[in-house]
Amino acid sequence: MVIVREAQDLRAGNTVKVGSDLFLVQKFSYNKGARNASMVKMKLKNLATGNSAETVCKANDKFEDVVLEHRKMTYLYGNDGYYTFMDQENFEQMDLTKEDLGDALNYLREQMILDVVLHAGRAVGVEVPINVTAEIIYTEPAVKGDTSGKVLKAAKIDTGFELQVPLYCAIGQKIIIDTRTGEFVQRA
Amino acid sequence: MDIFCHVVDNFGDIGVVYRFAKEFSAAFPVCRVRVFCDDLRPLSLMVPELPRFNPTGKIDGVTFVNTQALDEGLVRTLGSSDVVIEAFGCDIPEVYKKVALPGAAVWINLEHLSAEPWVQGYHLRPSLQTVTIPKKYFFMPGFSENTGGVIIDSRIEREKPGLRQNRLLHLNGFFANFGISVNENDLGIVGTVFTYQRGFDNLLSDLGTIGKDVYLFVLGDKSRLGMSETLNRAGARQVSDSHFAHGGIHVLMMPFIPQKDFDRLLCLTDFNMVRGEDSLVRAILAEKPFIWNAYLQDNKYHRVKVEALMDILSDYFEDHNIFSQYRELMMEFNDRVDESSQQTTCEDYRAFLGNMNKLEQGIRQISYFMTRKCNLVTKLSDFLAGI
């Protein structure tokens, strides 16, 4: 059965089929256009050629979804541009590059367990959960009394990734992030 | 070039497409330009000269085709074009996709205008599609050289000097609709109001403090409705069917006017209040102080778009205090979640009305830049030439 998904429902780590080619989503961003119409920008890797390229499309453009083999693996360490993961069942280790990881790199922490995507027996990417928890390691001091969440400030999380958080957030707080958009969801 | 347009609401979609098609055809007369649209009634109001089409009609070098009349036979008769443009992500009819689209060299999604910085990252990016021939690209209008720019209307650009030189004469042409004739000494302040439905209590109140006669041309059903209810609340006097007076403020409820007259009127006033994207561009190019009523979006997302516009405009204003007050007015004006005729926002127009000369200088600067560096038709033709 062919599963069709709208572009806005895709995220890093998903695979789509166009023609006879398989493309792995490495990066994904979503932007609202005018009149509540939206667009997405993705970095896609052609799994046959290994080439990556950016593409943009309407949020409701449809793609044939392909589910590749996923394995639960633990992220061990990064070294010299390679990121090593270990299979939780057979302890086999596999390396991914920065490009393979795409947006997942923003949330990657040692000992984190992730779904590694395999194609032809080789690791080609990872799929991070839609929501991840992270700790704020730097932001300007919290503003007491502002609980509206409408006014935002910059914050850096423990993986080094920077995002916008509400004014009431403070250093040391754990927050939940939507990995599809890289946006703050709520305090953990 | 074949341009597809789906009329969602109001006049914006087909208004922009007509303007773009007309300009492209004028710039490249050897190019065949066709517009495929599912509802040409709004355009027939904006362009009264538009001929009846059955199923096609031609004006300003552009052939219009009723999309609803498309079948395989008609598409085959019409044939393919080198360039296919879908305006604002509208869906191209399947019969065209099947029969004519494969014959095109390039397929472009011409998107809505936005001042947000992210549009630069989408502009001219290829779009992976299940239909892989022709190759599709996104074309993102915007306010910087790294975007698709805006549609510069050559007709109004040619007319601008004459409009400025004979301002009173041309204004009296519009006043004549109301049986009014104004001389230079009595002119006071002239403005337009073309917004979504809202209350204008604060506007009337602040206009009442400037000590001059004010003439407000109110355009569009939504503005007229909001203004009528505001005038009722204010106890304004009805002078004639469409002329109301409130102190020294004359509110003139305009009938629907053609696009070219709208463009002219914006150039003749002291300030303009406009809605939607195309009128925003016209207001900027009219080089008068303006207030923009952005199209309402969920969760007040339209304010993000207004904020982005103000970020762009900030580069063109030298007096930071005046600009800061202008930004505050624009943000407050757009702090709404729905349309109603009540005054639900707290905007204060006094600084805007008191600094119109300086605001005009800033608007002129961005207009100068857009006209010379950000002509959408030029940018698109440059892109097409490079394919």
DSSP string, B64-116: EEEGGG--HHHHHHH---SEEEEETTPPPPHHHHHHTGGG-SEEEEE------
Model pLDDT for residues B325-380, shown as the tens digit of each residue: 999 999 999 999 899 999 999 999 999 999 999 999 999 999 999 999 999 999 99
Closest among B216, B198, B196, B210 to B351, alpha carbons compared: B210
Instruction: Return residue ranges of chain A for CATH 2.30.30.30.
Output: 3-66
Contact B112 A37 (CB under 8 A): yes
Distance from C-alpha of A28 to C-alpha of A6, rounded to nearest angstrom: 13
What is the interface size between A and B, counted as CB pairs within 8 Å? 67
Burial class (CB in 10 A: 0-12, 13-18, 19+), B27: middle
**Domain with residues A3-66, CATH architecture:** Roll (2.30)
Looking at residue A161, its amino acid is F
Instruction: List Cα–Cα distances, B319 to B222, B314, B361, in angstroms.
Output: 34, 10, 10
Contact A55 B126 (CB under 8 A): yes
In A, which residues are within 8 Å of B89 by CB distance? 33, 37, 39, 58
Chain B nearest CA to A80, separation (Å):
29
Token pair belonging to B170: 């041309």
Please report the residues numbered 116 through 175 in chain B whose beta carbons come closer than 8 angstroms to any beta carbon of chain A.
116, 118, 121-122, 125-130, 132, 138
B91 is catalytic: no
Q: Class assignment of domain A131-187?
A: mainly beta
Model pLDDT for residues B289-305, shown as the tens digit of each residue: 999 999 998 888 899 99
Distance from C-alpha of B220 to C-alpha of B192, rounded to nearest angstrom: 11
B213 is catalytic: no
Model pLDDT for residues B137-151, shown as the tens digit of each residue: 999 999 999 999 999
Instruction: Return residue ranges of chain A for CATH 2.40.50.140.
Output: 69-127, 131-187
In A, which residues are within 8 Å of B118 by CB distance? 29, 31
In A, which residues are within 8 Å of B116 by CB distance? 31
CATH classification code of A69-127: 2.40.50.140
Give the fold, CATH level 3, of B2-151+374-385: Rossmann fold (3.40.50)
Are residues A73 and A87 in contact, defined by beta-carbon separation less than 8 angstroms? yes
Model pLDDT for residues B165-176, shown as the tens digit of each residue: 999 999 999 999
ipTM for this prediction: 0.83
Q: Which of B88, B127, B295 is the closest to A57 by Cβ?
A: B127
Query: Does pLDDT of B58 surpass 90?
Result: no
Give pLDDT tens digits along chain A (188 positions).
778 999 999 988 899 998 889 999 999 998 888 776 789 999 999 998 989 999 999 999 999 999 899 999 999 999 989 999 999 999 999 999 998 999 999 999 999 999 999 998 999 999 988 899 999 999 998 766 665 556 789 999 999 999 999 999 999 999 999 988 888 999 99
What phi, psi does B65 have (nearest 5°)? -125, 130
Contact B89 A37 (CB under 8 A): yes
Distance from C-alpha of A72 to C-alpha of A85, rounded to nearest angstrom: 9
Q: What's the full length of chain B, in residues? A: 387
Q: Class assignment of domain B154-372?
A: alpha beta
Model pLDDT for residues A42-76, shown as the tens digit of each residue: 999 999 898 999 999 999 999 999 989 999 999 99
In A, which residues are within 8 Å of B297 by CB distance? 32, 34-36
SS3 (DSSP) at B135:
strand
Domain boundary assignment for chain B: 2-151+374-385, 154-372
